[in-house]
Each structure stands twice: as C-alpha cells, then as structure tokens.
Structure 1
Amino acid sequence: MSDGRIFDRENIGQGRKVTGRSLFISTSFGFFIWGIVADLGPSSLSWPFLSEISIHLKVFLLICAPIGTLIGNVLIGALADSVGRKRTFLITMLSYAIGIIIVSMSTGYWLFVTGLFIAGFGVGGEEAPSLSLIAEDTPVSERSRNLTLAPNFNNAGSAFTAALLMISPFIGIYEDRIFLLISAFTVILYLVYARLRMPESFRWLNLKGRSAEARTISNDLGIDGLETRIREPNRRFSFAVLAAMGISQYLTFGLMAFIIEPFEFGNTAYLPISLVALVGATIAGFVAVPLISKGRKNYTLFAYGGGFVSMVVILFSAAYLGNMFIFMPLLFLNMFFSEFAWASRTNLEPELFATQNRSTMIGLVRIFPMVAYIFSIFLTSGFGLEYSLVYNSALWALGLAAAVLWFIRGTETRNISADFIVDLPPGSNEPE
C-alpha cells in the first residue's frame, strides 16, 4: 500500500511539472511570435522593395500590424471569456501563421502590409487570453514570475528579428526571409504541441459549472491550498489607471525602439538601434522578477519614475544623440525602465479584474494605448528629434502620475487570489 502511495505522489508531481511547463512554454512562445511580428514592419524598411517608398506609405506600413493587434486584442479578448482561453488559440495561431507566410513570400508593398495586418491580428488576439490563463492557472507564489517572464519573450522575439534582418545584406534578402519563415514555423509547430498538453483555465471552468474538471486541473497544477481572496477592486478606477499606464509605456517603448530612428536617424542606422533597445528590454525582464515579487505598488512607482528621469536625461542630451556612443547607452537604460513598466502592466492587468470578464477587460484597456500609438506614428512623422523627445517625456510623466495615484489609492495584489469575491448574476457559479 505504501509503495502505491509513493508511486501516485510521484506521478502527480510529474504531472504538475508537465502541465505547468506546457502552460509557461505555450504562452512564452506565443509572445515570442508577437515580438517577431512587432519588429517585422520597422525592420523591413531596409528591404529593397520597401526602402524607397514615400513617407505616407512608410507610415501606413508601420501602423498595419498595430491595427491588427488592436482588433485582435478586443475581439479575441472578449471571445476568451465566452468560449475559454485555450480554444481561442486555434484562431490566433492560424492567423499569424498565414500572416507570416504572406510577409515572407511577398515581393510587393500591398501584399506585404496585408500579411502584417493578419499576423498582427493573430498575435494581438493572444495577449488577453494568455495573460488571463497565466494569472488563473499559476500558483499565487509563482504568478508574478510567470506574468513577467512569459511576456518578456516578446522582446526576445523582436531582438531575434532585428538581429536576423541586420545580416540581410550579407546573406541576401531572399535567404534571410526563408530563414525567418522556417524559424517562425519551428516555434509555431512547437506551440501546437505544447498547447495540446496545456490545461484550460480551471477558474474559468469553475465559473461555467465544470467543477470536477476544474478540480482535476487545479490539483495537477499544484493549486490545491487556501488563497487570500478580496473583493474585486473598483473597476472604473483600475481601468482608468491601467489605461494611463498603458498609453505611457506602450507609446514610449514603441516610439523609442521602433519609430524614432526611421524618422530621425535614417534606415541604415535603424537595426543596430532597435537591437540595442530590445536586448536592454530583454535583460531587464529577468531583473524585474525579484523586484516585482516584493510588491506591485512600490515597484510600479519605481518603474515609471525611473523611466521619466531617464527620458528627461535623453531630452537634455538631444544635441549629442548623433553620437551613437552617447545615444545607445541612454537608450539601453531607458529600455530597462520601459520593460519594468511593461512588467507592471502584465501583472496588474490580469490581477485587477475578475475571472468572468478578465480577458475582455484586458483587451478593452489596451484599446487606449494602441489607438494612441497608431495616432502617434502619424503625429511624430512630422516632428524633429527634439520634439519627439519632448513628446516621449510627456508620456512618461503621464505614466508617473498614474503610478503615484495607484500608489496612493490602488490595491496591492501581491499574494492575492485571482478569484475575487464578486456579486455574481443568478445562475453563475461562485469559484470553489
């Protein structure tokens, strides 16, 4: 009898490892694909059939993927609250697979931007379900780590694309794009395998009345103890603060890492600048893990405060930024704080909304930064360098103000259950 019990415990422990690993890998690799798509538009401006296009076509190319990402966030985010987090990945994986094929094979402008839009829709659609799934299927003690590290693969994916396209002149554009296609599909095929083994959100299953299935998954994941539950924080206040933080972080990162160089420095310098920014952000994601695990409020204030100060330093150094030995280290530092702010968002967005509308609310919050980003690409295309830096400084000031407000009035979500105490409509199921 004792041997049987030991054998059962070993199997359960192994099951927890496999299930948790599949969840982390599937979401991380999904963000990696998003990073590839995010950098494809800006990096492709050095390709021969795109390098001589007009400023208007250049701006349109730069906004195609963000528009697709915006639509995917909203539509798939809402769908994930209705049909489940896992099922939506069938739509998203198919979308970005088709989009990447079109981008890799196209030789004309309009087919290329169509591929960018489709791929953007797919990767955008994964954001809200992925963050919801991580928050709901991860033990409280590990949640901040996974909500920080998995989205950080976005930076790694963009850095991979920037590095790959930087060597295009040496290996040839055609060979470069084929390698990009093979690399992306290798990741996608592994994603399919991991997602077949990945669990559905047991908290979402509980709400749908599938408590036996939910209990099995929660046991497999090792989430079988008591959790500290509180009432859902004020939704309007959370939404407003998160929208302001999102506008600040999303725009300052995108404009500094992807947009400012093609408009202000020229395409030939673009890829090294992008690569430095993305490597800095990727490293910062790992540094952020122990910091944010100590508490969200102090960390968020530090992230946006550091971002604002580093941006002001860049602004006052504007006259010297033509020297890459000055600009690159300052950009690297600023991207560190931008990633810290990104980690704050990827933790707080799923932690501040209830399970029954978590994915929908994440998608809705992101409307504001994404629309503002698209508008800002148009706006800053006519700015000079100094005005662009002033604009970025003002955006960081907005984020800092939101962080201060959150520090004063916000809810600390460290060690708090992802299941809030809420007033459910008749017929709904209270999480067990």
Structure 2
Amino acid sequence: MPESWKRIHWGLFAIVSASFFLDGVLFTLVPATIYLIEGLVSEAPLIFAVNSLFFMLGALVLGWVGDVLGRRLGLITSLLIYTAGAVAFAATFWAGALTLPVALATTSVINFGVGGEVGPAYSALAELTPPRRRGTALMLAANFWNVGAAILAAASLYYAELTGDPKTAVLYTFYTAIALAVLVLVARLHVPESLRWLAARGRLAEAEALAKRYGVSLPPPQPQKGSLRGYWGRIALLAVAFTAQLITYNIAAYYVPYAPGFAYGAEFAPINVAVANLGAAVGAFLLLPLIDKSRKLSFTAAFAGGLATAIALAAVHGSPAWIYASVLFLNLVFSEWAWASISVLESELFPTAVRSTAVGLVTAGAWLANAGAVFLEGVIGVHLFLALLVALWSMGLTSALWWQMRGVESAGRELEELA
C-alpha cells in the first residue's frame, strides 16, 4: 500500500468513525436511561449481564460474517440488527409494554449488533490505511465510541431536565439514537470493500478495479493463511489484556453507579457515563505522539497509568463527587490508551482471511468475562467492585509487560509482514 493518505482513506476513516460513534450511542442507551425506568432499575445487573453475553455472541457471529461475506456487508448487517433492537425497545416502552423479558430481548438485540461491528470495522480500516498512520487511524476512529457515549449521556440528562418526565426523556434519547442510525446506514451503503479481503478471497479482478478507481495499489501477493492455526497464543494474550481493559472500563464508566453502596447513588449514572467517556475521548489525542512510534510502549504505558489511577479511584470513593469524577476522568484517559493499543494490535497481527474472526474471538472472550463481572455487581458491593478494578488493571499490566519483552513491534510495518 502507498504511504500517502488519500481521499479514499479519509472517506473510509469518516465512515468507520461514524460507526464507532453510533456504537457508543447504542451501547450507552440502557446504562444512561435505565435509572429513569420504574421497575427496571433494580434489574440493572441482570440486564447488563445478559447484554454482555449477546455482545459476545454478536462479536463471534458477525466477526465470522465479516470474513465470509466481506467487511462491507458485515457492517451493514450489524447496523440493521441493532437499529431494529432500538426501534423495538422504543416502541414497546411507548406502548407501556416494556416488561423485563421484553427489555432483556430488545437490549440484547442492540448489543448483539454492536458487538458484531468490531471485527469488520477494525479489519476494513486496518486493511486500507497506510502503515505509518494505521495506529492513529484505528485509535481515533475507535475513539468516536467515547464521543458518542458522552454525547448520548449528556443528551439523556438534557432531555430529563427539559421535559421533567422520565418516560419522555427515555423516548427522546432512543429517538435520537435511531435517527443517527439511519444517517450512518446511508453512509455505510457507500463503504468500499476491502481490497485485501477481495484478494484473499481470490477476487483479484474486483480488487484491481477498486484499486484503480481509488488510486491505490494492491499489496504484493502473499500466501493466504485461511485458518488461525499458530495464532492462538496471540489471541489468548490479547484476550487477557482486552478482558482487563473492557471490564475496568465498563465498571468505572457504566456499572459502578448501580453497585450496592455506591456513594453518589444511581442518579449519578448519566454524569458518571459522560465524565468517563469524556476522559476516554481526550485520552486518544494524548496518545497520538506515541501510538505510531511504538505499539509496545503504548501498551505498557496504558496499563501502568491505568493501575495507578484505579488505585486512586478506590481511595477517593466517598469524597466529594467532583473529586471522584476528576480521578474517574484520569482513569479513563488510560483506559482509552489501553483500548487503542489492543485494538490496533488485534487489527494487524492476523491474516486477512481470518482477521475479522480473530478480532471477534478476542472481543468475545472479554465480553464473556464481562458478563460474569456484572453478575458480581449485585453481590459484592462497591468497595470490592473497586478492588476488582485494581486487580484487573494489574492483570493487564502483566500482559503488556510480557508483550514488551517477547512480542513483535508492529508500528509502521505492512500487514503481510506481521501475519
């Protein structure tokens, strides 16, 4: 691939960024509004845990679809699924028919679709982006999840204040998400298929035609590995690190306000989500000077900073809310660093023919563990939940240090060199 950044790169970056923005919006819908829904707030841990299981299934199923049918169809399929789930939730809530089983079903469909985005989205962007800008592109695109989550949480607060009616606020929040989904669908219909994926599937004529149309070149032909044999060690290490990052992010940003004993109450949830995701959004820009110079240093620095701030977060719980929120903001800066480092690595360390599946496997392993962590929320209380946060950051740091010593440095290298 050429080193220069061209119009096609900007187009794909914009569409994938919009996709992650929408993912953040859709994933945040339930945590940011459930405190307003009488009869469901007490069931929050159960809903979050079941949603996590369906996020895992979506990552597995649609990650595989992204390898079989292509990155473009994978992204379109996932969007249609989670939009249908959001429409069904809003419709049943408006009709007064949102029972617990219906809420579990509709929110799980949303999470199935959002989980299925990751494999095709990461693969599409990694396979087209010039090597020297791959880390930056992947990190900034994924960072729009945090932007979407923060904006949706702020919108939920605004609607609640504006209307004074919890039901109206919830409906307005979901209507906003559905409208955004329609706009992103229009954009996705214009996503180009991955040139590398076409070549890996033997569709060289199509790949060459697209390359000519967009003014880019195909990479040199490489033997295509159609299985994950020999890559399970990488999957395991990334899954451990991503499990640590994911659960700590979800605990700190979404779940802890609903844990027994949380000092600021469940009504702090939308503020908690907004502050956390604002910190994560800022964090991506702070990592820009390092991510494309060294994946190893980015990985290690992320978990070292995350561990230090997690210890501080546990220590200040119960202090004035602004102090807790300030430390939460800092912790999520490093959480974004960790997510960015892992996301880039999982996007570039596997063969093209199975890349989306590999990303789905890493994602699924982490979300399975996340479901277990959510079930613990209603049992162990906030103090042990915060202690779990520290333990998981320690686990992630161990993985990062192992990669620092034994892993490959992938910054600036072609994908074919790394698989």
TM-score by length of 2: 0.89
The equivalent residue for 2:284 is: 285
SS in 2 for 1:290: helix
The correspondence of residues 21-420 of structure 1 with structure 2, limited to 5 A, is: 21-50=10-39, 53-54=41-42, 57-107=43-93, 108-109=98-99, 110-167=101-158, 168-171=160-163, 172-224=165-217, 235-263=231-259, 264=262, 265-318=264-317, 321-420=318-417
Given the superposition, is the C-alpha separation of residues 176 and 366 from structure 1 closer, same or farther in structure 2, using an over 3 Å criterion? same
Counterpart-to-counterpart distance in 2, 1:288 and 1:231: 33
Letter matched to residue 358 of structure 1: R
Counterpart-to-counterpart distance in 1, 2:170 and 2:362: 34
Report the Cα offset of residue 418 of structure 1. Answer: 1.7
Counterpart-to-counterpart distance in 2, 1:348 and 1:219: 29
How many residue pairs match? The answer is 402
Report the Cα offset of residue 170 of structure 1. Answer: 3.0
Counterpart-to-counterpart distance in 2, 1:300 and 1:260: 25
Counterpart-to-counterpart distance in 1, 2:378 and 2:304: 27
SS in 2 for 1:383: helix
Given the superposition, is the C-alpha separation of residues 176 and 316 from structure 1 closer, same or farther in structure 2, using an over 3 Å criterion? closer
Contact 2:18–2:144 (8 Å) recurs in 1: yes
Letter matched to residue 138 of structure 2: L
Report the Cα offset of residue 364 of structure 1. Answer: 0.8
Given the superposition, is the C-alpha separation of residues 148 and 230 from structure 1 closer, same or farther in structure 2, using an over 3 Å criterion? farther
Report the Cα offset of residue 419 of structure 1. Answer: 2.5
Letter matched to residue 365 of structure 2: F
Counterpart-to-counterpart distance in 2, 1:83 and 1:229: 21
Report the Cα offset of residue 298 of structure 1. Answer: 0.8
Report the Cα offset of residue 296 of structure 1. Answer: 0.2
Contact 1:137–1:218 (8 Å) recurs in 2: no
Report the Cα offset of residue 221 of structure 1. Answer: 4.7
- The RMSD of aligned alpha carbons is 2.4
Counterpart-to-counterpart distance in 1, 2:37 and 2:31: 14
SS in 2 for 1:419: helix
Counterpart-to-counterpart distance in 1, 2:39 and 2:118: 29
- Kindly provide the CA deviation profile for residues 257-310 of structure 1, in whole angstroms up to 9, marking residues without a partner as x: 111111124212222122111111111122222321111001111011110111
Counterpart-to-counterpart distance in 2, 1:48 and 1:188: 23
- Kindly provide the CA deviation profile for residues 345-374 of structure 1, in whole angstroms up to 9, marking residues without a partner as x: 110111111101111111111222101110
Unmatched 5+ stretches in structure 2: none
Given the superposition, is the C-alpha separation of residues 139 and 216 from structure 1 closer, same or farther in structure 2, using an over 3 Å criterion? farther
Sequence identity percentage: 29
The equivalent residue for 1:8 is: none
Counterpart-to-counterpart distance in 2, 1:310 and 1:222: 46
Report the Cα offset of residue 220 of structure 1. Answer: 4.6
- Kindly provide the CA deviation profile for residues 389-414 of structure 1, in whole angstroms up to 9, marking residues without a partner as x: 21111100000000000000001111
- Kindly provide the CA deviation profile for residues 37-61 of structure 1, in whole angstroms up to 9, marking residues without a partner as x: 221222222214346x54xx22222
Please say which structure displays the higher CA radius of gyration.
1
- Kindly provide the CA deviation profile for residues 209-244 of structure 1, in whole angstroms up to 9, marking residues without a partner as x: 221321233345554387899999962331121011
Counterpart-to-counterpart distance in 2, 1:97 and 1:396: 33
SS in 2 for 1:366: helix
Counterpart-to-counterpart distance in 2, 1:186 and 1:210: 36
Given the superposition, is the C-alpha separation of residues 421 and 30 from structure 1 closer, same or farther in structure 2, using an over 3 Å criterion? closer
Contact 1:147–1:346 (8 Å) recurs in 2: yes
SS in 1 for 2:72: coil
Report the Cα offset of residue 22 of structure 1. Answer: 3.0
Unmatched 5+ stretches in structure 1: 1-14, 423-432
Contact 1:228–1:415 (8 Å) recurs in 2: no
Counterpart-to-counterpart distance in 2, 1:153 and 1:115: 24
Counterpart-to-counterpart distance in 2, 1:228 and 1:144: 23
TM-score by length of 1: 0.87
Report the Cα offset of residue 16 of structure 1. Answer: 4.6
Contact 2:50–2:104 (8 Å) recurs in 1: yes
Contact 2:350–2:418 (8 Å) recurs in 1: no
Counterpart-to-counterpart distance in 2, 1:231 and 1:249: 31
Of stretches 188-197 and 256-265 in structure 1, the one that deviates more from structure 2 is 188-197
